[in-house]
Amino acid sequence: MSAALQLRDLSKQYGPAVAVDRVSLDVAPGEMVVLLGPSGCGKTTTLRMVTGFVEPSGGDILVDGHSIRMLPPYRREMGIVFQSYALFPHLSVARNVAFGLEMRRQGRAERDARVAEMLRLVRLEGLADRLPRQLSGGQQQRVAIARALAIRPRLLLLDEPLSNLDAALRQEVAREMRILQRDNGLTAVMVTHDQDEAMAMADRLVVMRDGRVQQIGRQEDLYERPATPFVARFIGHSNLLAGSVQDGQVLALGGADVALAGRYAPPAGSSAATLAVRPERIVLAPPGTHPEERVVGRVALSSYLGAAVEHVVHVGTDQRVVVNGASSGPAATARFAAGEAVALCWGAESERVFDAADRVMPRSASNPAPVRSGHDSQTISKVASNAR
Query: Can you give the length of the chain in residues?
Result: 388
Establish if 230 belongs to a structural domain. Answer: no
Give the pLDDT band of residue 388 (cuts 50, 70, 90).
very low
Give the residue-averaged pLDDT of 336-349.
96
Q: Is residue 37 in a domain?
A: yes
pLDDT band, very low/low/confident/very high, at 190 (cuts 50, 70, 90): very high
Provide the pLDDT for residue 145: 87
89 with 199, same domain: the answer is yes
pLDDT on residue 32: 96
Residue 195 counted as domain residue: yes
- Residue ranges making up the domain that contains 270: 237-386
Confidence of residue 387 (pLDDT cuts 50, 70, 90): very low
Residue 79: is its pLDDT beyond 60? yes
- Residue 263 and residue 330 share a domain: yes
Please check whether residues 219 and 241 belong to one and the same domain: no
pLDDT at residue number 341: 97
Q: Which band of pLDDT confidence, cut at 50, 70 and 90, is reported for residue 235? A: very high
The CA-atom distances, in angstroms, between 366 and each of 249, 264, 376 are: 11, 9, 28
Give the rounded percent of residues in the chain with a pLDDT score beyond 90.
66
* Mean pLDDT across 41-50: 96
Are 91 and 220 in a shared domain?
Answer: yes
Of the candidates 197, 224, 251, which is a domain's last residue? 224
pLDDT in tens, 105-147: 888 899 999 999 889 888 888 899 999 999 988 888 889 888 9
> Is residue 70 domain-resident?
yes
Does residue 202 sit in the same domain as residue 275? no
Note the pLDDT of residue 172: 79
Tell me what pLDDT residue 378 has. 37
The answer on 21 and 121 residing in a single domain is yes
Final residue belonging to a domain, choices 161, 193, 224: 224
- Confidence band, pLDDT 50/70/90 cuts, at residue 386: very low
DSSP result, 228-283: SHHHHHHTT--EEEEEEEETTTEEE-SS-EEE-SS-B-PPTT--EEEEEE-GGG-E
Whether residue 229 lies inside any domain: the answer is no
Where is average pLDDT lowest: 30-34, 69-73, 331-335? 331-335
216 and 274 in a common domain:
no
Q: Which pLDDT score is estimated for 372?
A: 55
Structure confidence at residue 12 as a pLDDT band (50, 70, 90): very high
Range in 60-69, 170-179, 324-333 the model is least confident about? 170-179
- Are 84 and 186 in the same domain? yes
Give 77's contacts (C-beta < 8 A, 6+ positions apart): 63, 151, 153, 154, 155
Domain for residue 26, yes or no?
yes
The answer on pLDDT for 360 being more than 70 is yes
Q: Distance of CA 36 to CAs 7, 42, 198, 214, Å?
A: 16, 10, 7, 10
The CATH number of whichever domain residue 193 belongs to comes to 3.40.50.300
At 265-311, the pLDDT tens digits run: 988 888 999 999 999 999 999 999 999 999 999 999 999 999 999 99
Q: Is pLDDT of 326 > 90? A: yes
Contacts of 333 (CB under 8 A, 6+ apart): 284, 308, 309, 311, 323, 324, 325, 326, 327
In a domain, 124, yes or no: yes
Chain centroid offset of residue 132 CA: 31
Distances from the Cα of 150 to the Cα of 113, 146, 341, 343, 344, angstroms: 10, 6, 62, 58, 55
Note whether 218 and 328 are same-domain residues: no
pTM: 0.84
268 and 171 in a common domain: no
Residue 221 · residue 206 · CB < 8 Å: no
373 pLDDT more than 70 = no
Asked which of 28-37, 168-177, 275-284 is least confident by mean pLDDT, the reply is 168-177
- In whole angstroms, what is the distance from residue 375 CA to residue 358 CA? 33
Q: How confident is the model at residue 364 (pLDDT cuts 50, 70, 90)?
A: confident
Tell me the angle at which helices 93-103 and 108-121 cross, rounded to the nearest 10 degrees.
Answer: 130
Cα separation, 223 vs 201, whole angstroms: 15
Question: Looking at the domain assignment, is residue 232 inside a domain?
Answer: no
Shared domain check, 278 and 132: no
Whether residue 116 sits in one domain with residue 184: yes
Predicted pLDDT at 370 = 52
Helix axis angle, 167-183 to 137-150, nearest 10°: 20
- Percentage with pLDDT > 70 across the chain: 94
Strand (E) positions, the chain?
5-14, 17-27, 32-36, 58-63, 66-67, 78-81, 155-159, 188-192, 204-209, 212-217, 239-246, 250-252, 257-259, 272-277, 283-285, 293-304, 308-315, 319-326, 341-345, 351-355
Which band of pLDDT confidence, cut at 50, 70 and 90, is reported for residue 381?
very low
Mean pLDDT of the chain: 90
Domain total of the chain = 2
Q: Which of 224, 256, 282 is the last residue of a domain?
A: 224
